[in-house]
Amino acid sequence: MNYHTQMEAARKGIITKELAAVAKEENLVPEELRQLVAKGEVAIPCNVNHVALKPKGIGKALKTKINVNLGTSKDLVSLDSEVAKVKAAEEMGADAIMDLSTYGDTQSFRKRLSQECGAVLGTVPIYDALVYYNKALKDITAKEWLAVAEMHGQDGIDFLTIHAGLNRANAEKFKARRGRLTNVVSRGGSLMFAWMEMTGEENPFYEYFDELLEICRRYDITLSLGDALRPGSLHDATDGMQIEELITLGDLTKRAWEKDVQVIIEGPGHMPMDQIEANMKIQESLCHGAPFYVLGPLVTDVAPGYDHITAAIGGALAAWKGASFLCYVTPAEHLRLPDVDDVKEGIVASKIAAHAADLAKGLQGARSWDDAMSKARQEVNWEQMFALALDPVKARSYHESAPPEVENTCSMCGNMCAMKNMNDILNGKEVWIGGENR
């Protein structure tokens, strides 16, 4: 191979087999996609060691993609339940899976994922360093942080969340300002902040960014530049620290692209709806058109138990106005580790947001799904409605849980079924409403 990364290949004019597969899935001419990858406006995360990968493209010219977070914690360490979540996520059409495990045999799980899982894989090496070295945070050395990133590359992870934007300069500004309600809510960001405070050292991912880029080139890892300073509450949205970090991420994006390393940028967070569009524009400008991966945004802070909905509202708006990649949020957000049912609810909410955005963007082919569903509704064709439903199992079980008295209707309107009655009357039949059902 005369290239190291998908970006390098694209810049050399090479249509890789991964790029060709993505172009086919997106109904794009490969040459058109190649130019977007060469410019950095589309990323195809694609570790050379991820043997099971079915490649996906991430960029606003493409279908909006969704990511599913899962992984063990110290309180819930069962790998079997995490494998069940992976299976559910794949069955329900997750484009990417981030393994955020913080306890147990994380490397075996990661290797199993790269051998068996077709979804794009992401991790946060900061979490895993604490598992791998099994020592106090402050005792982990700069080189050890980088070594874990390399290990994840060897294990076949396609994109790594790296919190390089929270450098010492931004940490000092953060301490000087102290105007936030919720400080640093990024788990990786808070760990790195604490490490810098306790050691007095620079963020190793920032200080040794060039070495990190060499690791990325070796395995074709895409950098997901983490938003350590993302707002964790509406109060903190679009504050100075969020923007300061974004400026740093924009600078790092250019350095990565100089080495042909693909980049996506992580974004908010919690944010009122009226600020979302402006945030998409600011990111696009400061980060030079790199794909935007948003963690929500959650449009209100007051709905624990329903944050898959608050995130889907924000995600739909964000993807309509520029984001390319939505991180799902489950009903368990802010409350506990999600179970399989939470994962399913989160995926459905996120897929609705992604598809709604693709419709609003006028993406080629997006509307045909909706039109087919509407036709099935007009024909009162239940099997077709179930087949087309985003969650066919739930749609069928709801319908069958309350069978209608009148055939070819549902228990919502019964013999007043507008669909059936309009079909009958337009076909010259009589419509019986009131009196006995027929």
- Residue 88 or 419: which CB sits closer to ligand SF4? 419
| Min CB(129)–ligand SF4 separation in Å | 54
Residue 69 to residue 357: CA distance in whole angstroms: 21
- Residue 281 or 398: which CB sits closer to ligand SF4? 398
Residue 225 to residue 231: CA distance in whole angstroms: 16
Q: Which part of the chain contacts ligand SF4 (CB under 6 A), choosing from 103-111, 155-163, 415-423, 425-433?
A: 415-423
Residues whose CB falls within 8 Å of the CB of residue 280, separated by 6 or more in sequence, listed in order: 292, 318, 321, 322, 323
- If one asks whether residue 410 binds ligand SF4 (CB under 6 A), the answer comes out as yes
Residue 285 to residue 279: CA distance in whole angstroms: 10
- Residue 201 or 407: which CB sits closer to ligand SF4? 407
Report the amino acid identity of residue 166.
L
| Min CB(394)–ligand SF4 separation in Å | 16
- If one asks whether residue 273 binds ligand SF4 (CB under 6 A), the answer comes out as no
Please give the structure tokens belonging to residue 156: 């076949």
198, 278, 412, 433: which one binds ligand SF4 (CB under 6 A): 412
- If one asks whether residue 433 binds ligand SF4 (CB under 6 A), the answer comes out as no
| Three-state SS sequence of 98-113 | EECCCCCCHHHHHHHH
Buried b (16+ CB within 10 A) or exposed e, 122-157: bbbbbbbbbbbbeeeeeebebeebbbbbbbbbbbbb
| Min CB(250)–ligand SF4 separation in Å | 50
Q: Which part of the chain contacts ligand SF4 (CB under 6 A), choosing from 137-145, 158-166, 167-175, 411-419?
A: 411-419
Residues binding ligand SF4: number (CB under 6 A): 9
- Residue 17 or 438: which CB sits closer to ligand SF4? 438
- If one asks whether residue 146 binds ligand SF4 (CB under 6 A), the answer comes out as no
Q: Which part of the chain contacts ligand SF4 (CB under 6 A), choosing from 2-10, 101-109, 266-274, 405-413?
A: 405-413
Report the amino acid identity of residue 225.
L
61, 88, 303, 413: which one binds ligand SF4 (CB under 6 A): 413
Q: Taking CB under 6 A as the rule, which mask of x and - marks residues 334-373 in contact with ligand SF4?
A: ----------------------------------------
- Residue found by looking up tokens 């600078």 in the block: 251
- If one asks whether residue 389 binds ligand SF4 (CB under 6 A), the answer comes out as no
| Min CB(53)–ligand SF4 separation in Å | 42
- Residue 100 or 410: which CB sits closer to ligand SF4? 410
Q: What is the greatest pairwise CA distance in the chain?
A: 83
Q: Which part of the chain contacts ligand SF4 (CB under 6 A), choosing from 110-118, 180-188, 329-337, 406-414?
A: 406-414
| Min CB(426)–ligand SF4 separation in Å | 15
Residue 212 to residue 223: CA distance in whole angstroms: 9
Binding residues for [4Fe-4S] cluster, as ranges, are: 410, 413, 417
- If one asks whether residue 409 binds ligand SF4 (CB under 6 A), the answer comes out as yes
- If one asks whether residue 422 binds ligand SF4 (CB under 6 A), the answer comes out as no
Q: Do 186 and 247 touch, CB atoms closer than 8 A?
A: no
- Residue 380 or 390: which CB sits closer to ligand SF4? 380
- Residue 198 or 422: which CB sits closer to ligand SF4? 422
Residues whose CB falls within 8 Å of the CB of residue 234, separated by 6 or more in sequence, listed in order: 270, 271, 272, 300, 301
- Residue 139 or 407: which CB sits closer to ligand SF4? 407
- If one asks whether residue 419 binds ligand SF4 (CB under 6 A), the answer comes out as yes
- Residue 207 or 379: which CB sits closer to ligand SF4? 379
Q: Which part of the chain contacts ligand SF4 (CB under 6 A), choosing from 23-31, 366-374, 418-426, 427-435?
A: 418-426
- Residue 311 or 417: which CB sits closer to ligand SF4? 417
- If one asks whether residue 417 binds ligand SF4 (CB under 6 A), the answer comes out as yes
Binding site for ligand SF4 (CB under 6 A): 380, 409-410, 412-413, 417-420
